[in-house]
Structure 1
Amino acid sequence: GEAPCQRLFGLSATQLREILDFRLMRDFPVVAQLDEGHARLSPLSISSIDCEGRQVIVSGGYEFRGNIGVMDVTRQGTLVIQLRLTPQQGRRQVFLEKPELQDITFDNPAPWFDGKAVSNWALALFATPICARLQSGLPC
């Protein structure tokens, strides 16, 4: 898979992965108070890059503290999200956009926790495309 990355981005797949990892480190970890409880998403890392298909798979751990009546219940697991890689050739930039949930795992399934609150929140974090400069990995 080196050639498509080189052609689209002028970088090897390895270089592109390093740049995107560096870019994602700026936005995570992130925490939020959701209706269902408190969520924290750890830094995401790139699991795979497919320049030809213009897709990248990222994964990260989450922790969720749910409020169920008086109980304070914690769940953790991994989120796997697929993002579209959109090059902006003239500008030497790339966008990560159009998130799709690939998988969510939890340490302890329960009727009250299907991971939806966490996965919907995580997908919403990418509602605005994330832009990275190809030279530096800095935000555009």
Structure 2
Amino acid sequence: MDSVPKVHVKEANDHLQRMFSRIIELEELGKQQASEIVSKDEELQKLRTVVGTIEEREKELTDLREKLASSEATVKRLVLDLKEREAAAVALKEKARHFDCILSSRAALERIVETLQLYGGDKVEANSEDSGVSVGTEQEKEEDET
């Protein structure tokens, strides 16, 4: 058999040793990259959770904005209704004041009508929707009733 020179064997052994060292380096690099990938996956999952939470918050915010707009419209409607009712109340108070004034004069008006009936002899009528008073001679009253 041919003998292989020692230099070739030594070079082959050195080459194998370098390859073995490189394999160990590459394995360590692979472990590091796998660890980094796991870490990045965890970060990605956290980001997805945050994005999901943000989307939920945005939906809640949109719903709240819609409720706010609806509430503002309701408030505006109620304010207008309140103004209308206040205006109606003012008008009714004015009418009540006039009615009170008429009622406070009712007795005097009835005496005037009676006096006119006694001395006038003619038919005297005082019709008022507010007081409901209708005055005439006794004979005319009887004729109206029949």
| TM-score, L = length of structure 1 | 0.26
Q: Which one has a bigger Cα radius of gyration? A: 2
Higher relative contact order (CA 8 A, sep 6+): 1
